[in-house]
Amino acid sequence: MDKMKVAYEAMLGLAAEMVLDEAVHKFRSDQIYKAIDQALAIGDEDTFYRLAAQLNDLKK
C-alpha cells in the first residue's frame, strides 16, 4: 500500500505542477499580448517586434 500512496502523491504533484505551469504560461502570454497591443497603439515598432519574438519563443 505504501508504494501506491507514494505513486499517487507523485502523480498529484505532477498534476499540480502541470496546472501551475499552464497558468503561468497563460498569464505571461496575456501580458505579452497586452504589451503588443500597447506598442501597436503608440506605433512603437521596435517594442512590437521584440514582444512578438518573445511570444513566439513562449509558444515553442
Q: Is 10 part of any domain?
A: no
Q: Is 37 part of any domain?
A: yes
pTM score: 0.79
What's the Cα-to-Cα distance from 32 to each of 15, 24, 45, rounded to whole Å?
A: 26, 12, 15
Average pLDDT over residues 8-14: 94
Separation of alpha carbons 34 and 47, rounded Å: 12
Q: pLDDT band at residue 1, thresholds of 50, 70 and 90?
A: low
Q: Is 16 part of any domain?
A: no
Q: Is 6 part of any domain?
A: no
pLDDT in tens, 18-35: 999 999 999 999 999 999
Q: Is 17 part of any domain?
A: no
Average pLDDT over residues 29-54: 97
How many domains, the chain? Answer: 1
Q: Is 18 part of any domain?
A: no
Q: Is 7 part of any domain?
A: no
